Chain A
Amino acid sequence: MTIEIFLQHLLNGLTLGSLYALIAIGYTMVYGILRLINFAHSEIFMLGAYFVFWGVTLFHLPWPLALVAAVAAVALVGVLVDRVAYRPLRDAPRISALISAIGVSFFLQNVAIVLFKAIPREVYRPEWLENPMIMGGVRVLPLTLFVPVLSLLLMLGLMYIVYHTKPGLGMRAISKDIETSALMGVPVNSIIALTFGLGSALAAASGIMWALRYPQLQPIMGVIPGFKAFIAAVFGGIGSIPGAVIGGLVLGFLEILIVAFFPDLAGYRDAFAFVLLIVVLLVKPTGLLGARPEEKV
């Protein structure tokens, strides 16, 4: 393997990893606050890609505007899902909310099949993302740089909201102790809605970029990336945003590099992440950066 090809693989890993990281942030924020695996998150990711497709083909929006509109619409869907399917179950056993989440996930998937039909669709890609550039002997698509850079900007924006604004303070307070925060005057339900909105917006952004990278839309396109991103969140330590980012990147690099170095294992590509998940859960269930939850009796 030449150094150029290796660099290419590294870049691909970085792209894939940052896409996973963006989805993983949504999982980790919701889990950190509600202790809920938001199964519907992978469908939120899928909706992001479809909404852009709709915006461009149906409403003839210019591409950048379609992006913004899609992200906003998906954020709204995320908030709505929380309001309808999770909020009434706040006091119910945790598994009830999880089953509700699985139901929502199937609901959105099949609504997508009804609305968009199950046939795969081609995505519009702006030309400037596709003309390859030569950088230091390596052939680079602008897309492979665009994705990590935009992801980084989005993550920095999120970090700013979570660590330097008042709603962010509310989020962190709720993830420590939901009841005490409510007593201290944190508007719990609005903050949770905001969390869903932000997480969904990031997932939508990831879905849109995923569709640019692998330009085919299908109603079930979110399932596998969604699971992998969740695994990335567990690996990084669920509840921790930097953990989700690190987990996403590690998973992206691992997936690309294992397939690059051991082409025989390519068929098992989708199983790596699950093996990693089971190993992490058994060896260090709190993940890399996660806090140890105290066991309440």
Chain B
Amino acid sequence: MKRYHVFALNFMLVGVLAALLVCAQRFLDGYSIQILNLVAINILLALSLNLIYGFTGMFSLGHAGFMAIGAYVCAILILSPDQKAMLFLLEPAYPWIESAHAPFVVAVFAGGLAAAAMAAVVGFPLLRLGDDYLGIATLGFAEIVRVVANNVPRITNGALGFKGIPAYANLWWNYGWCLLALVLIVRILRSNTGRCFKAIRDDEVAARAMGVNVFRLKLLSFSLGAFFAGVGGGLLASLLTTIDPKMFLFVLTFNVLMIVVMGGLGSVTGSVIAGAAVTIILEWLRFVEDPITLGSVTLPGIPGMRMVVFSLLLIAVILFRREGLMGTREISWEGIAAWLRQRRKA
């Protein structure tokens, strides 16, 4: 299969996706479109965590923190000064916070950059830690972000958070950013840098012995992952139109981790498939939490049941199929072509 074949096929795939989005926009109701939006954001988040954990082997539990940074930066930039003057009830905002304003694309980008900058700063000391210690330290970082967001009312409006954030994040923005992340991450993974990431994941000592600048590459991967986590946070803020510190609890990181583990650590296509599947199932399972009416009998909903099912699913995946859906394998055009050829022969 030649390179331009792959390019043409990818081009067609994007075209088909765009056509589907046009159809979705026209024919689906608001609720379904909301779910489609969440699918894109969750895929984006899963890809970013997979880059950090699945491809570079750094067990990071700080995603909620990076998302919070991205969400707040983006929200502050897209809210108009007048809206902010109304929102800050506890204490007036700093003048520079109140006057800051930017178009949506710049705001999301700035959110990502802020998260990446923060990742570089905290990564500098933290990435020396290995395995579970890194996990617990990044988790600590995320908690600190949340506590700080609660306690600087002149910037974040404290526990009240922001309401009425302009809902710019439509299907096009979300899928556009998701596609951008996908292309960028795939390109990086195919480059020399990506091979170094995988070398670090597989054996850090050996990678160092082969002359890989382990620390610098870890920092790069961590910041890049954090950038897309920040972008995801910004998009989520605009999609949901409200944010507050309580939104960025550990559960948020747990959801992303669940997608990555189920899709397969170190598989881009795995993250994409699991991101879509988990998001849709999570929404679909809402019915167990709502009251059900059968004829004259009304069964009360069972709050909490959704997460019971999902945590069981995660445990089952870890116990019985540790590599997840895809392991480190990928679905590629070459793979599909080889499979077709084999079938024709048989």
Contacts and interface: CB of A to CB of B under 8 A. Distances in A.
10 contacts: A36-B132, A37-B136, A88-B319, A89-B318, A92-B322, A96-B322, A104-B315, A110-B304, A110-B306, A219-B304
B307 A99 contact: no
B143 A110 contact: no
Interface stretch (A62-70, A180-188, A271-279): A271-279
A100 interface: yes
A271 B125 CA distance: 18
A100 B319 CA distance: 8
A230 B59 CA distance: 18
Interface stretch (A111-119, A156-164, A196-204, A239-247): A111-119
Nearest to B159: A267
B254 A274 contact: no
Given A94-B132, A227-B143, A277-B136, 14 more contacts: A37-B136, A85-B315, A89-B318, A99-B314, A99-B318, A223-B250, A227-B139, A267-B151, A268-B148, A270-B143, A271-B143, A271-B147, A278-B126, A285-B129
Given A110-B308, A271-B148, A282-B125, A98 B135 contact: yes
A114 B302 contact: yes
Interface string A241-276: 000000000000000000000000001101100110
Contacts of B131: 94-95
A297 interface: yes
Interface in A274-290: 274-275, 277-278, 281-282, 285
Given A100-B319, A114-B305, A285-B133, A107 B148 contact: no
Contacts of B137: 277-278, 281
Nearest to B288: A114
B147 A114 contact: no
B133 A281 contact: yes
Nearest to A274: B140
B19 interface: no
Contacts of A132: none
A270 B319 contact: no
A36 to B, nearest CB: 8
Interface in A82-104: 85, 88-89, 92, 94-96, 98-100, 102-104
The SS class assigned to the A binding surface is: helix
A110 B261 contact: no
A234 B129 CA distance: 13
A270 B146 CA distance: 10
B303 A118 contact: yes
Contacts of B59: 95, 98
Contact of B318 (A96, A114, A219): A96
Contacts of A103: 311-312, 314-315, 318
A76 B29 CA distance: 49
Contacts of A106: 251, 254, 307, 310-311, 314
Given A106-B254, A107-B315, A274-B141, A98 B308 contact: no
B22 interface: no
Contact of B257 (A36, A99, A227): A99
B315 A100 contact: yes
Contacts of B132: 35-37, 94-95, 98
A267 B150 contact: yes
A118 B315 contact: no
Contact of B141 (A37, A100, A278): A278
B319 A107 contact: no
A85 B319 contact: yes
Nearest to A113: B304
A95 B305 CA distance: 26
B308 A114 contact: yes
B184 interface: no
Contacts of B12: none
B308 A111 contact: yes
Nearest to B306: A110
